[in-house]
Chains A and B, each alone.
Chain A
Amino acid sequence: AQSVTQPDIHITVSEGASLELRCNYSYGATPYLFWYVQSPGQGLQLLLKYFSGDTLVQGIKGFEAEFKRSQSSFNLRKPSVHWSDAAEYFCAVALRGGYSTLTFGKGTMLLVSP
């Protein structure tokens, strides 16, 4: 069965430290890959997406993600976390050639300590 796994439910990072959020997928072929962020009481905002080409993708707010086909992973990174980055982060995938239907992971809650 197709699935998206975010193994970390919560992560706490000190402000200014680096961040990596993990995402693994299980699909028959390489899907389209996305990272979304959700702040409390807010909808989802797209951080970045990978369709093809360069496997290192730059997004908004200083985030980047690297697609590794051999590991079926699409991990999100940020070199220096700000307190405003505290939110829930969702990895999502979509089948190529399909309609705009996303399958989401369960999310990782990022807490930023002073």
Chain B
Amino acid sequence: DAGVTQSPTHLIKTRGQHVTLRCSPISGHKSVSWYQQVLGQGPQFIFQYYEKEERGRGNFPDRFSARQFPNYSSELNVNALLLGDSALYLCASSSGQGVGELFFGEGSRLTVL
């Protein structure tokens, strides 16, 4: 069975540009969460979606947005990129909306120049 898949795996952008990251959850999982992991730090929660509705949002500026599609895949969008947005962006899926086991993808590594 396929795990959580993320694309692209690596990308380079320049300041001011925008980026879209994509995530496909494990089949049957209805919840998708996004985390940002800056080098040398633990992952930080950005968003959680369940059944296409936003269920939680971390302490990130409005430049960050996300959505979940009817097939439960998800996109994370970041506008007006800053150097500090350089990070590994992790997507995780779970079967329910409550705390259980989160299954993480391998991440999308974003470098902002």
- Taking a contact as CB atoms under 8 Å apart, the answer to whether A100 and B105 are in contact is no
- Taking a contact as CB atoms under 8 Å apart, the answer to whether B102 and A43 are in contact is no
Task: Report the minimum CB–CB distance from B73 to chain A (whole Å).
Answer: 17
Task: Report the minimum CB–CB distance from A65 to chain B (whole Å).
Answer: 15
- Taking a contact as CB atoms under 8 Å apart, the answer to whether A102 and B102 are in contact is yes
A46 interface residue, CB < 8 Å from B?
A: yes
A32 interface residue, CB < 8 Å from B?
A: yes
Instruction: Specify the chain B residue showing the minimal Cβ separation from A91.
Output: B42
Number of interface residues of A (CB under 8 A): 26
Residues of A within 8 A of B102 (CB): 44, 46, 100, 102
Q: A43-B104, A43-B105, A46-B102 are in contact. Are A100 and B41 (CB under 8 A)?
A: no
Residues of A within 8 A of B107 (CB): 43
A94 to B48, CA, bound (A): 13
**In-complex Cβ contact of A99 among B41, B55, B92 (8 A):** B55
- Taking a contact as CB atoms under 8 Å apart, the answer to whether B99 and A99 are in contact is yes
A104 interface residue, CB < 8 Å from B?
A: yes
- Listed in ascending order, the chain A residues whose CB lies under 8 Å from chain B are 4, 32, 36, 41-46, 49, 90, 92, 94-107
Q: A98-B99, A99-B97 are in contact. Are A106 and B40 (CB under 8 A)?
A: yes
**In-complex Cβ contact of B98 among A49, A100, A104 (8 A):** A100
Q: A41-B106, A43-B107, A45-B104 are in contact. Are A101 and B48 (CB under 8 A)?
A: yes
B1 interface residue, CB < 8 Å from A?
A: no
B33 interface residue, CB < 8 Å from A?
A: yes
Q: A42-B106, A43-B105, A43-B106 are in contact. Are A100 and B43 (CB under 8 A)?
A: no
B61 interface residue, CB < 8 Å from A?
A: no
Could you show 30 A-B contacts with beta carbons less than 8 Å apart? A32-B99, A36-B104, A41-B106, A42-B106, A43-B104, A43-B106, A44-B90, A44-B102, A45-B104, A46-B101, A46-B102, A46-B103, A49-B101, A90-B42, A92-B42, A94-B99, A98-B98, A98-B99, A99-B48, A99-B55, A99-B56, A99-B97, A100-B48, A100-B94, A100-B97, A100-B100, A101-B45, A104-B42, A107-B41, A107-B42
